Amino acid sequence: MSDTDGLLKIDKLHKRFRLSSDGWFGAKGQVVNAINDVSLEITKGESFCLVGESGCGKSTLARTVMGLETTSAGSIHYMGERIDNMSDAARLPYRQRMQMIFQNPYASLNPRMTISQTLEEPLRFHRPDLSDTQVRDKVVEVMESVGNNTSWLSRFPHEFSGGQRQRISIARALMVDPEFVVADEPISALDVSIQAQVLNVMMDARDHRDLTYLFITHDLSVVEHFGTRVAVMYLGVVCELAETKTLFASPRHPYTQLLLSAIPKMDGSEMTHDRMHGEVPSAMNLPTGCVFHGRCPHAKDVCKTDIPTLRQVAGRQVACHFAEDTG
Ligand SMILES: Nc1ncnc2c1ncn2[C@@H]1O[C@H](COP(=O)(O)OP(=O)(O)OP(=O)(O)O)[C@@H](O)[C@H]1O
Ligand SMILES: [Mg+2]
């Protein structure tokens, strides 16, 4: 990757939440280690997927990249500029260039605003130089580009289904011509029957608008369909990072292998799938050594004491002491 291709660079990122006075279950003062030393780079034009079980830190990573959470340590650069410690004023242009789409389209649209007002708002904020006509033209152009009927514009969010609302949220994100879109489980709250349609809208936008995505999902079939590269997370750590094809063809990290084998498959006449054993340990009480050792079928003593770092093995990056032997 050349310097000019790198869009987002996350370096040694840590995010800890200190639970406050009225914390959960008397957990006052406890620390949640949500992100533990994550480094990765996203190249322009990629659809970079982030996968992993619930609680592994995917949303926290997304929110930290977007500046919705502060970092505890490490840095985030966007096109060479450090953005994680910027003032609000300096950050402002990045709030236009980087947009986020959330999981729940019922919560992310203001119920009191018409669709037209919803779409105009970010554009009027970031582009006060545009005339009313220019703003309205843009609204129509973007609505049509994502397959939304412009007759929706005078209506309110409650009049729409989940899939339609998510297409409105996508349109709103596209209003300001972003370069980079962070999508946090954008289709997982939707009916299965319309998930593909919304995914297609996003892929179309990528192809026509030169978008780069950070796409979060726990659905591996979506990754296979949509992702150019994928990072697998477990307890705040990246275990494996690879081109999508490489990861699906020959996963190397034992956790990735378990995750892939847990996809139900048609085997003869019966549906079978390998079960994932054991509980995910708590992010409040991280295991020593490799975070996955308690569930790993290959764990040896060194896995309980030494933290494996991401390293290049067999054409991808793997954080496993025995990555040479797991192929
Ligand atoms: N504001 C917060 N305060 C305290 N702990 C938090 C906060 N936000 C997240 N966490 C904790 O950080 C860890 C990572 O959470 P996160 O929401 O990033 O996971 P996730 O991978 O997005 O999960 P899911 O798939 O369920 O959305 C979890 O242990 C979670 O409980
Ligand atoms: Mg999440």
Q: Label the pairing between strands 180-184 and 98-101.
A: parallel
Residue to mutate (ligand 1; options 18, 59, 61; most atoms within 8 A of CB)? 59
- Dist. CA 34 → ligand 1 center (Å): 7
Q: Please state, rounded to an integer, the average pLDDT across all residues of the chain.
A: 91
Q: Is the pLDDT of residue 27 over 70?
A: no
Q: Which residue has its alpha carbon closest to ligand 1 atom 16? A: 57
Q: Is the pLDDT of residue 226 over 50?
A: yes
Least confident of 12-26, 70-84, 196-210, 229-243: 12-26
Full-model pTM = 0.92
User: Is 208 in a helix, a strand, or coil?
Assistant: helix
| The pLDDT value given to residue 26 | 55
Is residue 87 left, alpha or beta, with left meaning phi > 0 and alpha meaning psi from -120 to 50? beta
CB-based pocket (< 6 A), ligand 1: 17, 32, 34, 52, 54-60, 218, 283
- Dist. CA 313 → ligand 1 center (Å): 30
Q: Which residue has its alpha carbon closest to ligand 1 atom 26? A: 54
Give the ligand with the smallest distance to the CA of 52.
1
Instruction: Return the ligand 1 atom nearest residue 236 CA.
Output: 14
| The pLDDT value given to residue 19 | 83
Average pLDDT over residues 172-181: 97
How far is 197 from 146, CA to CA, in rounded Å? 10
Crossing angle (nearest 10°) for helices 132-145 and 115-126: 120
- Dist. CA 219 → ligand 2 center (Å): 13
Starting at the edge strand found earlier in the chain, the sheet holding 237-243 runs 98-101, 180-184, 212-216, 47-51, 229-234, 237-243, 316-318, 311-313
- Dist. CA 248 → ligand 1 center (Å): 26
Is residue 52 within 8 A of residue 60, CB to CB? The reply is: no
How far is 274 from 261, CA to CA, in rounded Å? 6
Q: Which residue has its alpha carbon closest to ligand 1 atom 1? A: 17
Q: Is the pLDDT of residue 86 over 60?
A: yes
Q: Which residue has its alpha carbon closest to ligand 1 atom 5? A: 17
pLDDT, one tens digit per residue, over 47-59 is: 999 999 999 999 9
Average pLDDT over residues 4-23: 85
Average pLDDT over residues 112-126: 96
- Dist. CA 186 → ligand 2 center (Å): 10
Average pLDDT over residues 228-255: 97
| The pLDDT value given to residue 285 | 85
- Dist. CA 43 → ligand 1 center (Å): 26
Give the ligand with the smallest distance to the CA of 38.
1
Q: Which residue has its alpha carbon closest to ligand 1 atom 3? A: 17
Instruction: Return the ligand 1 atom nearest residue 19 CA.
Output: 4
pLDDT, one tens digit per residue, over 123-162 is: 999 999 999 999 999 999 999 999 999 999 999 999 999 9
- Dist. CA 133 → ligand 1 center (Å): 43
Average pLDDT over residues 248-266: 86
Give the ligand with the smallest distance to the CA of 183.
2
Q: Is the pLDDT of residue 269 over 50?
A: no
Average pLDDT over residues 202-228: 93
pLDDT, one tens digit per residue, over 270-282 is: 444 455 566 778 8
For the chain, the domains span: 250-327
Give the ligand with the smallest distance to the CA of 54.
1
